[in-house]
A and B are shown apart, each in its own frame.
Chain A
Amino acid sequence: DTAVSQTPKYLVTQMGNDKSIKCEQNLGHDTMYWYKQDSKKFLKIMFSYNNKELIINETVPNRFSPKSPDKAHLNLHINSLELGDSAVYFCASSQWSSSEQYFGPGTRLTVT
């Protein structure tokens, strides 16, 4: 009965490849997020979707493209991966009416 789940947990790939990370939540929330946590553990928001509509789009390279097929799912596709994309990517969800966000287990992306 995992609340927020992500796949895969680990992703190792070479520079220039394209990869996707998937996120699903069963909390009944209507808002989902992607965060990036770098090697210094700084957690920064990338995107947010509310009921499949893009709400927050931070200064992120356009190689990153989120997609929300429905309010329970939010995927992240990354094109032309670079070394600097190596990080842990966390998905989170909340109700739009609340700022209390709940995080998935994370996907550790390593670009070689």
Chain B
Amino acid sequence: QKEVEQNSGPLSVPEGAIASLNCTYSDRVSQSFFWYRQYSGKSPELIMSIYSNGDKEDGRFTAQLNKASQYVSLLIRDSQPSDSATYLCAVTPGGNKLTFGTGTQLKVEL
């Protein structure tokens, strides 16, 4: 079983819709959770971090964490073509060793 699992996609959503990206993790002691966005040929960019159960909102992005079910999700409201990228989920049990998922490719269609 992979430590951090994501559906590779591509996930296609129409412009203006809500994109929902999901991630599950296997290590129950994971404490910190991150979403990175990576455009093709570019480096990962940190867009959200979440540390406690519940929702965290930042602009059009909402991260949701459920430690009991070991999943974390990212919602992107009013999706734009510029949101088309690969979204990487990363977790750490504490300390600084991040374990990444393989990423979900998001395509926002006009």
Residues of A within 8 A of B (CB): 31, 33, 40-45, 48, 50, 55-56, 90, 94, 96, 99-106
- The answer, among B43, B86, B94, for a CB contact under 8 Å with A103, is B43
Contact partners of A103 in chain B: CB under 8 A: 36, 43-45
Contact partners of A56 in chain B: CB under 8 A: 96-97
Contact partners of A94 in chain B: CB under 8 A: 96
- The answer, among B43, B96, B100, for a CB contact under 8 Å with A42, is B100
Contact partners of A96 in chain B: CB under 8 A: 96
**B49 is an interface residue with CB less than 8 A from chain A:** yes
Query: In the complex the two chains form, is A104's CB within 8 Å of B96's CB?
Result: no
23 contacts between A and B (CB under 8 A): A33-B96, A40-B102, A41-B38, A41-B86, A41-B102, A42-B100, A42-B102, A43-B44, A44-B100, A45-B97, A45-B99, A48-B97, A50-B96, A90-B44, A99-B92, A99-B94, A99-B95, A101-B96, A101-B98, A103-B44, A104-B43, A105-B42, A106-B42
